[in-house]
Amino acid sequence: MAKILNIITNPDPVLRKKSQPLNLEEPLTSEQTNFCQDLILTMKEKDGVGLAAPQVGKNIRIIVVTLDNEIICMVNPQITKKSWARHWGEEGCLSVPDQFGEVERHKKINCIYFTPEGKKKQIKVQDFPARIIQHEIDHLDGILFIDKARNLKKSS
């Protein structure tokens, strides 16, 4: 049964470490598959649209994202193509509570990743879904949105 995980907040140094890719020579272990379910439940319970493993204290390359009302667990996600077009949009983060700011992101991206079952997938997304994936992959590289944001403000 999935459990709600503790969200780590800035300035915890775990958030600044580069995460390690998982070895996908074999399918994920049941512990890793359960971790994906825990990430999904935690994201839902905390009203997030994405969540990365480092945000719950694990420096491995797993993220969960909401795309078209479907939640996807992405193992070793990698952006393979980015549009020239970029746009600014407001972002917040469960690991940086009560702060929001505008971040410039690529409008469209192509991304490859593996499912928890070990299937390789490729997706093309744009606008808000592209923003979510870029934000979560930044977490895997130890980057927080506040590192890129302008007009940072506190929510009341």
Residue 117 annotated in active site: no
Nearest to 33 by CA among 5, 75, 68, 70: 75
CB 74 within 8 A of CB 62: yes
**φ/ψ (deg, to 5) at 61:** -90, 75
State whether residue 23 is helix, strand or coil: coil
Q: Which one, of 154, 156, 149, 141, lies nearest residue 59 by Cα?
A: 141
> Identity (one letter) of the amino acid at 156?
S
Catalytic residue among 70, 90, 91, 136: 136
Q: Any idea what DSSP says for residue 88?
A: E
Count H helices, E strands: the chain? 2, 8
Catalytically active residues are 136
